[in-house]
Structure 1
């Protein structure tokens, strides 16, 4: 095991013990070091930062840039038809709107339980809330579809990866780091095994399909890598990095929007 990985394990143990707030831990292969990215300078994480100094991580402080504006041009949900008798083709990357909370997310892909015959939509966990949901396609019927042939976790750095979401549609980038850790503002908010990638995304894309193409010769078939989960602010001066929270599911062969 490399020294960088050993140091990351030690930093992770310190994070679990000291519970710092609003920061992100990951290995950045471009700078070849572990990174602690701190979102709020005003939050006192000095005990944790001082404890990690012997492990020599790169410390990055957020520049407090404003979040990008989010389009509000969602179509008005219609109530003049019986939705129970409506059949629609729901694809990965389509939009979901919670009418009660106003929160927006994206469809990831269809999945099926081993113990039940019913199909379910996989999306980001934080997208779930009780209430009535409306379905929002991209607004065009001219988009081609990508065929899901299977699922696989991301296991390599610098590989090509894409996502399909309602707000920014299809965007692609590359994998910068693996095994990221995110800590929120509450002590119980701690996410592990995150993938760091630079594809463009925005609020409302959460839950959308994350995937890679089967091969350069086959740009109509994809392998699902998971779902996009949360946006983090800028981590350096050039690109935005995002959290991609991946899980392991049985994947039903279906289609997503490119």
Structure 2
């Protein structure tokens, strides 16, 4: 689905950006997290601290909730709350009085709902089956905020999905239908939206997570290029270097370039491994041409165009922020909407229910780009940042 960022979960790494990655300034445009939370750049550290505490408490709380009396939890950093969808308030009172929970009671808000996690999972299973029966083009997930199933479709695919939309009306509650103009243009350019940075007297080019990568395809005798995004730098036990991306970026050619041009000096390397399910590919790097950098490119920022990768994590709290970097939309941040098993993706003959769903906008060309979480940011002087000494 081109509107939501869909993450195939089997081989997914959620990167954590290091403390040095974001230096705060009110000059220029807002950083992606400030846009997401509608705050000023200098408030980001405070809200990251709030979010980390909410994630911690949510991790303590969730194992105590059963799927029949509750309908899921979500964190909300803006309101500094964890919202717990609740059907049985007697059970909720018991949980509030537990020693491990009582100290966090000010962060909890038990909300009355009508549908349990058990009910919604059952509905989702039936709806996902119908998506295969009617060959739907859609994305579906359990939305904790709405206590319902949300089906997302492109405006362009409404006619293809008419039978599917009719068939799912048998479910109570009726699923929420969400439509996007997926083929609409975007205006997300940055003054830093330039090609790869050239170093060492313009001989070796740097490649970062989120940079565009291009593979030639032949259509009726003419050469065009398929655009994808670099995922992350990897190295095997033999010390061979790779760039990971999506498997579906392989079409006609297994060669990938830094520009939409078949130029040997721009050759990134050859895709030596690719799968469609899971959607994963490895490009063996030509180190004579490119040098991989363990950073995420952030073209939306005027000052801090490279974000340092520090670690990788598993995500588990609905409502936590996640961001992605891609060639088309650059850096976009959104909220985690559904975990693996609580959503599905169906397009053409491809179906999977092993996905994470994030409410960050994406476009064609972003495929393969990294997904990341801001661990922490400090207000540092720019010269400290430039020397990685924050």
- Confirm whether residue 158 of structure 1 aligns to residue 319 of structure 2: yes
2:229 corresponds in structure 1 to: 106
- What is the DSSP-based 3-state SS (H/G/I as helix, E as strand, rest coil) of the residue aligned with 2:207? coil
1:256 corresponds in structure 2 to: none
- Confirm whether residue 121 of structure 1 aligns to residue 243 of structure 2: yes
CA offsets 1:119-176 (integer angstroms, 9 cap, x no match): 21111222223154221586x9974532222222332211011112222322222222
1:109 Cα deviation (Å)? 0.6
Aligned-residue Cα RMSD (Å) equals: 3.7
Is contact 2:188–2:330 with CA below 8 Å preserved after alignment? no
Query: Aligned match of 2:331 in 163, 166, 170?
Result: 170
Q: Based on CA coordinates, which of the two structures has the bigger radius of gyration?
A: 2
For 2:248 and 2:241, how far apart are their aligned partners in 1? 20
Query: Aligned match of 2:126 in 10, 13, 16?
Result: 10
2:150 corresponds in structure 1 to: 35
Query: Aligned match of 2:345 in 164, 177, 182?
Result: 182
**Greater Cα shift, 201-210 or 60-69:** 60-69
Is contact 2:153–2:180 with CA below 8 Å preserved after alignment? no
Is contact 2:124–2:343 with CA below 8 Å preserved after alignment? no
CA offsets 1:223-247 (integer angstroms, 9 cap, x no match): xxxxxxxxxxxxxxxxxxxxxxxxx
For 2:226 and 2:188, how far apart are their aligned partners in 1? 13
Aligned length: 207
The normalised TM-score by structure 1 is: 0.64
Gap change, CA 1:199 and 1:65, over 3 Å in 2: closer
- Confirm whether residue 60 of structure 1 aligns to residue 203 of structure 2: no
Gap change, CA 1:86 and 1:180, over 3 Å in 2: farther
- What is the DSSP-based 3-state SS (H/G/I as helix, E as strand, rest coil) of the residue aligned with 1:172? strand
Query: Structure 1: which 5+ residue stretches go unaligned?
Result: 78-84, 220-258
Is contact 1:11–1:52 with CA below 8 Å preserved after alignment? no
- What is the DSSP-based 3-state SS (H/G/I as helix, E as strand, rest coil) of the residue aligned with 1:21? coil
The normalised TM-score by structure 2 is: 0.45
2:376 corresponds in structure 1 to: 215
CA offsets 1:175-195 (integer angstroms, 9 cap, x no match): 2233321111x2x21132222
- What is the DSSP-based 3-state SS (H/G/I as helix, E as strand, rest coil) of the residue aligned with 1:101? strand
Is contact 1:183–1:191 with CA below 8 Å preserved after alignment? yes
Is contact 1:38–1:59 with CA below 8 Å preserved after alignment? no
1:94 Cα deviation (Å)? 1.1
2:361 corresponds in structure 1 to: 200
Gap change, CA 1:124 and 1:67, over 3 Å in 2: farther
Gap change, CA 1:91 and 1:63, over 3 Å in 2: closer
Query: Which has the bigger relative contact order, CA under 8 A and spacing at least 6?
Result: 2
